[in-house]
Chain A
């Protein structure tokens, strides 16, 4: 049941891999890119998408999302998360394994992959756990997880505190050439912190997580990656010290990739004022100096990958005292617009660099198809209007959850059409 060919006509095609940024046509057929070119002829049975005024780019990829299924389906399901991703312009997402049960067996990896395929939205790649039950004690059967479809391993949510185990994971995973992703947080330093440790936490009387709790863990992971030759992927870097350590490690040739999130690029810990639980996340929003460093890291490529850490929570869980509310915010449906508005619009990066960070680099980091519009590559394509203004309304989200600190923000940039494997999986209504 091959889809009809698609001709995308007259869009601004931006493909950093081919150093392309021109108004062109793009032809897709049989799940792959056929070619880009000027004034391409539409095959007889082709669907023609007029892309005048739109950017046409390799499909966006988010290597860090929480889909909550199995176990917390009231927050999100694999299907609802995949649809939310498609609505946000994403063609591929990587599902974190901190579900209930944890994704630490071939059967659970297979479940995520199958449910992802059934959703018929974006591609859903399972990420397996580093350790059984994410307990940080014994390695999971990493080879079997990879055979079942896992593209990476992580204990995200429960950082691997045992440095010896982390070393073994970085060594063992090399046989499968997958990245070991880590949520860098030294739990003995962050203790029971609920926000950034600084003047705001002092005023609010909330327990802080110091920058050092992240920095120490990042440096440890970099040292272990350097020692083992393994591939480390550092998640949601939020500190100036962390960015600096990663930059220097990259200069030394350490195999490291690293994420920046839209919220750490845009907000600071002042967003927690008034005990706003929608600004409670882990790692926490930090100071202006940290935000500047994360922006610089995004600009110079130290933080090569943009990821949302999409973390849906049911509204009544966030409707609690700050200490009691869970960490995390949704991100899939605001990510593109936040980056366009604040990073591209704010002059931090240009459009091509944005696509590099949101598509090409994540594809490389997790060995995923996509990230390019070169002929014969998969026909995963995102079309967005870089000028359209809209106001964030969580009630309008496709995601089952609306926990975002950006409600009411006016943003510029709107996904229009999302194409996965040559099929339109999502199209905006207006």
Chain B
């Protein structure tokens, strides 16, 4: 496999930079990979001999573990670097960290970073494939891909769907990736949240803005409910968590008032009783754990494609055929 021929280009930085065909290619590639995680022996030789560095400059449990499972189940060799206790904490710059990793001859870097643009910054400076696992408030492409795959699994299509993202859009990389990806695939996208947590000019990006969550629920086929960071309250973006729950929280009573069945997604980790009530999280509308399962398959697909694989050969690749 040769990284120069990847159907995604060298890196996965964001869904804004991919075409609808490339997005569908990832989703289609994820399908055959889903089955690997259901086996007794969860390992295929797709990425045997590849060295992948998981560079996490910001705390993350779910995304890091999901990537690690995806890498290990594809037989890649992985190294994890976290910001605490590493040279990063000793003041090493991102560019120096990258060059040092590169000097050890790696194949891919999965990066999570607090700064928007960090993944692209890295990708422009090293020849390895770079996968963005979340950069600041910019993009979290694999999260949006797994959200979209889950929507497709349950609703059969993306085109024409009405999906509303609820919560702190301003600080959310998940929101941006979902907006870019869903719009490219022909969905309609709405957002709903306190005006203090909405970035400006969303309408110019083709997004519909709902003032009240009741209106959003009435419009939507699916809700993607974002986590409200506690810090937002300390800096007065919202007055209190209780009030946030009262005005924007997704409750079963609010869902019951909807005209149709609504799918509820949440990228996690949830604040139960804040942005989402427990009876919704654990109830029939929720596909939250399905998202988590799909996350591993989507990440396998991304790694496989960046390593030069093509969607049509994914099934064969699982058996160690072709390259």
Contact of B138 among A197, A204, A208, A324 (CB under 8 A): A204
> Which residue of B94, B115, B117, B202 has the most chain A CB atoms within 10 A of its CB atom?
B117
8 A Cβ contacts from B130-167 to A? 135-139
B299 at the interface (CB under 8 A from A): no
Known: A275-B120, A321-B117. A202 touches B200 (CB 8 A): yes
Known: A206-B137, A274-B120. A322 touches B115 (CB 8 A): yes
Known: A320-B94, A321-B113. A202 touches B205 (CB 8 A): yes
Chain A residue, CB-CB nearest to B114? A323
> Which residue of A208, A210, A275, A321 has the most chain B CB atoms within 10 A of its CB atom?
A321
B residues near A210, Cβ cutoff 8 Å:
200
Give how many B residues have a beta carbon under 8 Å from the other chain's beta carbons. Answer: 25
CA distance A207 to B115 in the complex (A): 10
Known: A274-B120, A322-B115, A324-B115. A316 touches B93 (CB 8 A): yes
Known: A198-B200, A319-B95. A205 touches B139 (CB 8 A): yes
8 A Cβ contacts from A225-264 to B? none
Q: Whole-angstrom distance from the CB of A189 to the nearest CB of chain B?
A: 13
A3 at the interface (CB under 8 A from B): no
In the assembled complex, 24 residue pairs joining A and B whose CB atoms fall closer than 8 Å, in A order, are A197-B200, A199-B204, A201-B199, A201-B200, A202-B199, A202-B202, A203-B176, A203-B205, A204-B117, A205-B136, A205-B139, A206-B116, A206-B117, A206-B138, A207-B137, A208-B200, A275-B121, A321-B118, A321-B136, A322-B115, A322-B116, A323-B116, A323-B117, A323-B136
A residues near B137, Cβ cutoff 8 Å:
205-207
B residues near A321, Cβ cutoff 8 Å:
94, 113, 115-118, 121, 136
A residues near B202, Cβ cutoff 8 Å:
202
Please report the number of residue pairs spanning A and B whose Cβ atoms sit closer than 8 angstroms. 67
B residues near A324, Cβ cutoff 8 Å:
115
Known: A203-B16, A205-B176, A319-B95. A275 touches B201 (CB 8 A): no
Give B residues with C-beta under 8 Å from A. 16, 93-95, 113-118, 120-121, 135-139, 173, 176, 199-202, 204-205
> Which residue of B93, B113, B139 has the most chain A CB atoms within 10 A of its CB atom?
B93
8 A Cβ contacts from A241-300 to B? 274-275
A residues near B201, Cβ cutoff 8 Å:
198-199, 202
Contact of B116 among A198, A199, A205, A319 (CB under 8 A): A205
CA distance A302 to B204 in the complex (A): 32
CA distance A319 to B97 in the complex (A): 13
CA distance A210 to B200 in the complex (A): 10
Chain B residue, CB-CB nearest to A208? B200
Q: Whole-angstrom distance from the CB of A318 to the nearest CB of chain B?
A: 11
> Which residue of A205, A208, A319 has the most chain B CB atoms within 10 A of its CB atom?
A205
CA distance A202 to B121 in the complex (A): 19
CA distance A206 to B118 in the complex (A): 12
B residues near A205, Cβ cutoff 8 Å:
116, 135-139, 173, 176
B residues near A322, Cβ cutoff 8 Å:
115-117
A residues near B117, Cβ cutoff 8 Å:
204, 206, 275, 321-323
CA distance A208 to B199 in the complex (A): 9
B residues near A274, Cβ cutoff 8 Å:
120
CA distance A204 to B138 in the complex (A): 6
A residues near B199, Cβ cutoff 8 Å:
201-202, 208
Chain A residue, CB-CB nearest to B96? A316
> Which residue of B113, B138, B201, B205 has the most chain A CB atoms within 10 A of its CB atom?
B201
A residues near B118, Cβ cutoff 8 Å:
321
B residues near A204, Cβ cutoff 8 Å:
116-117, 138
| Chain A positions 172 through 201: 1 when the CB is less than 8 Å from some CB of chain B, otherwise 0 | 000000000000000000000000011101
Q: Whole-angstrom distance from the CB of B56 to the nearest CB of chain A?
A: 15
